[in-house]
């Protein structure tokens, strides 16, 4: 019995020592941050801003690697299959960590089991916009028009998360529009401006420059509060659809099994980066707000979002493909 106790103590001390070594030596080489979307989108913009400052805190370069395709599935899978050593970060978002499980019949990763959360990073509203030729100037007028012209309006989406957000709104409003999927915001915006689609829900950072230039007309923002960048734009909830609150959000995760000491170090440095006035001002340019959290808080949020969008998909009749 005494011998077993000694062995147990030795194992415990060995584990504690190894954790201490990991914490002391990490990081000893450059890191990579996988972005599961193309360059230029909101997730890529957020990732590059964070990577540059996180590199300073860590004392090692953080290289952004775009692995786009299939609404973020390709990049998320690559991250999930990477070594759990703290040298691969994934800039996850609402699509990869919450909505893909309800829109893909077979997903090669699990948003909860495949990753260890580090921290939330940013939250940003979507804008509901229409082509200027459409005779509507408010969300209620859009709903009335859609009801009077059933099946004639086309709406574009640049990903599974936005598709489900539009279906969420359409279910609440009792309307039906035709879904036109796109591989990114740029082609969707091009077709909105050209009139091939009449309605578009897209992140503020992508859409607002075209609203400001008058090329498209904004009707509302999807968060529960108005945007400081465009305070005259009402929220969807203010427009008559209570409790409608949809955000485009990002957060960093690492492969499951990453040492706790590494997770704590990454969280500490990431929270420090997100707390700086410089980062807050940088995000504000895209009407985004920093959203630093503990790993536990981010884990709970991911689980809540998964449950929420599962219900939305069921209510909207959206089946995984």
Instruction: Quote the tokens at residue 267.
Output: 């969280």
Report the topology of domain 125-221.
D-Maltodextrin-Binding Protein; domain 2 (3.40.190)
Give the integer Cα–Cα distance in Å for 191 and 247. 23
Q: Which residue has the higher pLDDT, 49 or 242?
A: 49
Average pLDDT, the chain: 90
116 in Cβ contact with 278 (< 8 Å) = no
Contacts 24+ apart (CB under 8 A), 69-74: 69/36, 70/104, 71/95, 71/96, 71/99, 71/100, 71/103, 71/104, 71/159, 71/160, 71/161, 72/36, 72/37, 72/96, 72/100, 72/159, 73/36, 73/100, 73/104, 73/107, 73/108, 73/109, 74/36
Which residue, among 136, 134, 141, has the nearest Cα to 196 in the 3D structure?
134
The pLDDT confidence band at residue 23, using thresholds 50, 70 and 90, is low
Q: What is the pTM of this model?
A: 0.85
The pLDDT confidence band at residue 182, using thresholds 50, 70 and 90, is confident
What kind and span of H or E run contains 158? none
Q: Check whether 30 has a pLDDT greater than 50.
A: yes
DSSP characters for 70-101?
GGGHHHHHHHHTS-SSSSEEEEEEHIIIIIHH
Residues of the chain with CATH 3.40.190.150: 22-123+248-316
Instruction: State residue 8's pLDDT score.
Output: 47
Which residue, among 122, 107, 129, 104, has the nearest Cα to 43 in the 3D structure?
122
Give the integer Cα–Cα distance in Å for 312 and 321. 16
Torsion of the alpha carbons at 214, 219, 225 and 230, rounded to the nearest 10: 10
Q: Check whether 155 has a pLDDT greater than 80.
A: yes
Q: Distances in Å between the alpha carbon of 259 and those of 31, 211, 239, 254? A: 15, 46, 47, 10
Which residue, among 212, 214, 130, 202, has the nearest Cα to 166 in the 3D structure?
202
- Please return the burial class of 85, using the count of CB atoms within 10 Å of its CB with bins 0-12, 13-18 and 19+: middle
pLDDT one-digit tens code per residue, 247-276: 999 999 999 999 999 999 999 999 999 999
43 in Cβ contact with 35 (< 8 Å) = yes
Residues of the chain with CATH 3.40.190.10: 125-221
pLDDT one-digit tens code per residue, 70-103: 889 999 999 999 999 999 999 999 999 999 999 8
CATH 3.40.190.150 fits 22-123+248-316, yes or no: yes
């Amino acid at each position: 019995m005494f011998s077993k106790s000694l062995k147990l103590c030795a194992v415990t001390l060995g584990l504690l020592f190894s954790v201490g070594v990991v914490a002391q030596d990490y990081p000893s080489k450059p890191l990579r941050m996988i972005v599961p979307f193309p360059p230029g989108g909101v997730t890529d913009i957020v990732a590059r801003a964070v990577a540059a400052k996180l590199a300073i805190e860590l004392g090692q370069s953080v290289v952004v690697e775009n692995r786009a395709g299939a609404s973020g599935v390709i990049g998320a899978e690559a991250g999930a299959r990477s070594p759990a050593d703290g040298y691969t970060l994934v800039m996850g978002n609402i699509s990869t960590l919450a909505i893909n499980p309800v829109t893909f019949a077979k997903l090669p990763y699990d948003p909860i089991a495949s990753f260890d959360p580090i921290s939330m990073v940013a939250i940003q509203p979507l804008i509901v916009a229409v082509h200027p030729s459409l005779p509507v100037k408010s969300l209620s007028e859009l709903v009335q028009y859609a009801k009077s012209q059933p099946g004639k309006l086309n709406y574009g989406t640049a990903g599974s998360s936005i598709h489900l957000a539009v279906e969420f709104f359409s279910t609440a409003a009792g309307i039906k529009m035709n879904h036109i999927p796109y591989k990114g915001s740029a082609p969707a915006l091009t077709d909105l401006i050209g009139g091939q689609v009449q309605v578009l829900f897209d992140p503020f950072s992508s859409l607002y420059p075209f609203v400001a230039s008058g090329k498209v007309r904004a009707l509302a923002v999807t968060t529960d509060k108005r945007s400081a960048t465009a305070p005259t734009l009402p929220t969807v909830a203010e427009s008559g659809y209570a409790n409608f609150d949809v955000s485009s959000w990002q957060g960093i995760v690492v492969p499951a099994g990453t040492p706790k000491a590494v997770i704590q170090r990454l969280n500490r440095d990431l929270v420090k980066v997100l707390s700086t006035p410089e980062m807050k001002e940088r995000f504000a340019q895209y009407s985004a707000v920093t959203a630093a959290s503990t790993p536990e808080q981010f884990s709970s949020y991911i689980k809540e979002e998964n449950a929420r969008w599962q219900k939305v998909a069921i209510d909207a009749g959206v089946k995984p493909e």
